[in-house]
Amino acid sequence: MSTLALQSVSYKYEGAEKIIFKDVNLQFEAGKIYTIVGKSGAGKSTLLNLLSGLDTATSGRVDFCGENLSEIDRDRYRAQKAGIIFQSLNLLTNATAIDNIVLSMNISDVTGVDKKARAFELLDKVGISQEKAHRKILKLSGGEQQRIGIARALAHDPMLIVADEPTGSLDGDNETKVLEIFQSLAHDEGKCVIIVTHSDDVTAMADEVLSLEEGIFRLLPEAGEKAPDGAILNQSAQLGARG
Amino acid sequence: MYVLEHALLNLGRNKGRNILLGVIIFAIITASVITLAISNTTEAVISETRYTFERMVRVAPRQIIYGEESVTLEQFHYFAESEYLVGADIRENPMSMSGIEAIYFLKQPEMLYDFEAELRNKGLPDNYSVVTENATFKNAIGHLENLQNITFTFLIIVLVLGAFIMVLLSVISIRERKYEIGVLRAMGMKKKTVALGLWIEILTITCICFALGMGAGAMLSQPISNMILAGQTDSINVDVSVSILTAIQILGVSILLASIAGIVSISRITKCEPVKILMERN
């Protein structure tokens, strides 16, 4: 069973005429890294909002492990099943890094672990020192904030990681470190990692690359591979993402 | 439990806003303490005075009478020998209608009719009335009633204005904290948990202000009462004190104010969809 499955999903903003995408069928499986590429404004972040349960499709359904997201408690889903890394970070700016992560664990009802110790461990993993962990978010650089956002998304050990431009503010070393984390999460821990990106480095390490253009999702070939025929993932093409 | 911890940490994180909120709540509570303390004490004094005057019975002719029809000094003393009385004040007074002024002090105000019946049996003519000292009472408490009216009006103004300000502050506060609410909701915090956190914050501020306001109110109510009464002729002193009743009433007012703010917060939060908040912000 797919971790996430989109069935005939269409989306348009409330009151808007333009349809962002129509009749999309996609499947995302555990143990894989997916990247979604496309021009700004194409609807990539909108797709992530649907996958992370922040928004609902205009029509069609999004299933998480076979359950329709619009029929389950989406707060619980976000708190326990999905780890969301926002492009705009969305951290509590007047709280410290450690407080942000511990709060995330509290919301997720994480039990049986020393939350502070786990938070420090995660921060260390993304290269944030203990001294910086006690600083308020606003007193940290953009790159540091981005890594804290990543640590927070992993704090409750989610099955699904949804990331919107997670390496946008990172330097080369930190980008490599973060990509290694994503690879380990997918390939060693069997998580499903979905990343929206413009970065070639991120795209290069993905197991599947999807492009979104003019509301049409296409499965891109791997480097050196010939583009498969009819790799359009909207219903008109009657295809799903390759497994 | 973490909601409480997060709310208390938030108090320190948003010092500026919380201090402003605290100052306003403190002012409302202090004003309420002062007005309620004065009002309650005045009420007690009026009640005590009423009790005293209701027990004072004047026996006097309904109109000027002369000769045989008038009650003699001995008869008035005879009337004083009654099981309904705790005492009497009988004296000759040439200025009064019968030349004698007789006031009897009942054990209980409700014994008036029994006492009058006894006097009639003892020979008190019908042209004599047996009445309590209502006029004297009304004269004595006039200033106190003025004071009570002033404080009551002031209390209503304080409470209405206070509730209005609290609603306004809550609306502003939610607007200001919309992003924070959006982040918490995006992390999966439920609406009711977010609302509970905000309510705990406002309740904590209110509790601190309650303690400070009670102290300040207790200190200020006596001088303010004296100031209001000073402008009146024949003024009497009222020893204002903050009673348990006042404390309970203020606690009720405080919880009411915090709840008003809480309800406004909750109603605003239920309209907050995280994706919309975060998109607006970004």
pLDDT at A241 over 50: no
Residue A71 burial by Cβ neighbours in a 10 Å radius (0-12, 13-18, 19+) = exposed
- Closest residue in A to B282 (Cα–Cα): A88
pLDDT at B100 exceeding the cut of 70 = yes
Segments making up each domain of chain A, as ranges: 4-12+21-198+205-214
Residue in the block written with tokens 């990681």? A161
Mean pLDDT over A219-233 rounds to 56
| Mean of all residue pLDDT scores within chain B | 84
Residue B267 contacts residue B170 (beta carbons within 8 Å): no
B149 contact partners, CB below 8 Å, separation of at least 6: none
Q: Residue A230 is which amino acid?
A: G
Chain B closest CA to A226's CA: distance in Å?
A: 38
Residue from the list B13, B14, B187 with its beta carbon closest to the beta carbon of A107: B187
More confident residue, B279 or A155: A155
DSSP chain A: --SEEEEEEEEE-TT-SSEEEEEEEEEE-TT-EEEEEE-TTSSHHHHHHHHTTSS--SEEEEEETTEEGGGS-HHHIIIIIEEEE-TT----TTSBHHHHHHHHHHHTT--SS-HHHHHHHHHHHTT--HHHHTSBGGGS-HHHHHHHHHHHHHTT--SEEEEESTTTT--HHHHHHHHHHHHIIIIIT--EEEEE---HHHHHT-SEEEEEETTEEEEEPPTTPPPPTT-B-BGGGT-----
A221 Cβ neighbours under 8 A, 6+ residues apart: A227, A228, A231
Contact A107 B184 (CB under 8 A): yes
ipTM over 0.95: no
Strand order in the sheet with A82-85: A82-85, A160-164, A192-196, A33-38, A208-213, A216-220
Mean pLDDT for A222-237 is 50
Average pLDDT of B251-280?
80
pLDDT at B233: 47
Contacts of A99 in chain B (CB under 8 A): 9
pLDDT(B264) > 50 = yes
> What pLDDT was estimated at residue B67?
64
Predicted confidence at residue A115, as pLDDT, reads 94
Contact, A4 vs A27, CB < 8 A? yes
- Asked if A44 and A38 count as a contact pair (C-beta separation under 8 A), the reply is yes
Predicted structure pTM score: 0.75
- Determine contact: A106 vs chain B, CB below 8 A: yes
**Distance in angstroms (rounded) separating the CA atoms of residues A218 and A228:** 10
Which residue among A54, A75, A92 places its CB closest to the CB of B275? Answer: A54
- CA A64 – CA A66 distance, rounded (Å): 5
Average pLDDT over residues A165-187: 90
Q: For residues B64 and B128, what is the distance between their CA atoms, to the nearest angstrom?
A: 10
What are the tens digits of pLDDT across the range B59-90? Answer: 988 877 666 668 888 999 999 999 999 999 99
pLDDT at residue B282 in the model:
65
Work out how many CB contacts closer than 8 A connect A with B.
54
At A232 the pLDDT is 55
Q: What's residue B212's pLDDT?
A: 94
Please give the pLDDT value at position B183.
93
Contact B13 A95 (CB under 8 A): yes
Write out pLDDT tens, residues A113-172: 999 999 999 999 999 999 999 999 999 999 999 999 999 999 999 999 999 999 888 888
And the tokens for B173? 């506060």
> Does the structure show a pLDDT above 80 at B239?
no
- Specify the pLDDT at position B172: 83
Q: Is the dihedral of CA B197, B203, B209, B215 positive or negative?
A: negative
Inform me whether the pLDDT recorded for B260 exceeds 70.
yes
In our burial notation (b when 16+ CB lie closer than 10 A, e otherwise), range A73-89 reads ebbebbbbbbbbbbbeb
Q: What pLDDT is stored for residue A237 in this prediction?
A: 37
Main-chain dihedrals φ then ψ at residue A11, nearest 5 degrees: -145, 135
Nearest by CB: A94 against B13, B185, B275: B13
Tell me, yes or no, if A80 comes closer than 8 A to chain B by beta carbon: yes
Residue A102 has pLDDT above 60, yes or no: yes
Q: Which residues in chain A are closer than 8 Å to B187, comparing Cβ atoms?
A: 78-79, 103-104, 107, 152
Is pLDDT at B276 greater than 80 in this prediction?
Answer: yes
Mean pLDDT score across all residues of chain A: 88
- Min CA distance, A92 vs chain B (Å)? 6
* Candidates A79, A87, A90; nearest CB to B188: A79
Q: Name, of A101-110, B46-55, B135-144, the range with top average pLDDT.
A: A101-110
**Structure confidence at residue B189 (pLDDT):** 93
pLDDT tier at A234, thresholds 50, 70, 90: low
**Do B130 and B59 contact (CB within 8 A), yes or no?**
yes
Q: Is B17 on the interface with A (CB under 8 A)?
A: no
User: Which of A:83-102 have CB within 8 Å of B?
Assistant: 84, 86-88, 90-92, 94-95, 99
* CB pair distance less than 8 Å for A88 and B184: no
CB contact under 8 A, A92 and B190: no
Its CATH class, for the domain covering A4-12+21-198+205-214, is alpha beta
pLDDT band at B14 (very low <50, low <70, confident <90, very high): confident
